[in-house]
Amino acid sequence: MATAEPIIMPGYQGEAINGPYDDPDGDSDADSGVSDNWDSSVETAFERLSAAAPRGWRVELIEGEIYVTPPANGEHEEILAEVNHQVGRKASDDSLRNYGGIGLNVPGSSDTGHVEPDLVIAPKGSFDDQEEWHDPSGVLLVAEVTSKSTADRDRHMKIRGYARAGIPVYLLIDRDEAEVTVYSEPSGDEYTQNPKYKLGLAVPLPSPLGFELDTAEF
């Protein structure tokens, strides 16, 4: 795996941005005495990086820090394809749709965050606009499949944003730990329910999905 290196954007003179894969120390320091225009500087850098990123790369603003992620490998995509297949076959609500590549605005530690989950389940028409980043109020479930470069923020940082946004279910498929965690019942910046299941077992998804995900197919 490539070693994390600082991203340097031409003309950007704001705070340092870590990437392209991980925050080296895992610490977000939104209250460290940065100047009042820090949020706007990071937002500007985020917009520039988003515009400059190669096709297929994700640029996200999570808890005040910018992350750039390369395209996922085949195993990652096979798992997502299986989840998509099972949701389409088992969900009782015909109005639900599976979305990939949808950008969501979620509340961050100090300002709005911009995230692109691996999978979003929401009613048809939830994103029928011209915006790049969307209101998550209609989202029923977000899912993330961990990669070496994203696992830490999938397990920790993204949970807070999804909970603050009130997304009912966050499905975390952790390849390194060979387990699935189903986060539900958001309250503040956490989920009050987070049962874990070993990969290979049937994983019950709570309301509003209400069916079992067969992870043996992963």
93 touches 138 (CB < 8 A): no
Which of 156, 166, 184, 40 is closest to 106 using CA atoms?
Answer: 166
Digit-by-digit pLDDT tens for the chain (218 residues) are 444 443 433 333 333 344 443 433 444 444 444 444 556 788 899 999 999 999 999 999 999 899 999 999 999 999 999 999 999 999 999 999 999 999 999 998 767 899 999 999 999 999 998 899 999 999 999 999 999 989 999 999 999 999 999 999 999 999 999 999 999 999 999 999 999 999 999 999 998 899 999 999 99
| Token duo for residue 122 | 């929401």
Model confidence pLDDT, tens digit, residues 76-100: 999 999 999 999 999 999 999 999 9
Please write the tens of the pLDDT for every residue from 39-62.
678 889 999 999 999 999 999 999
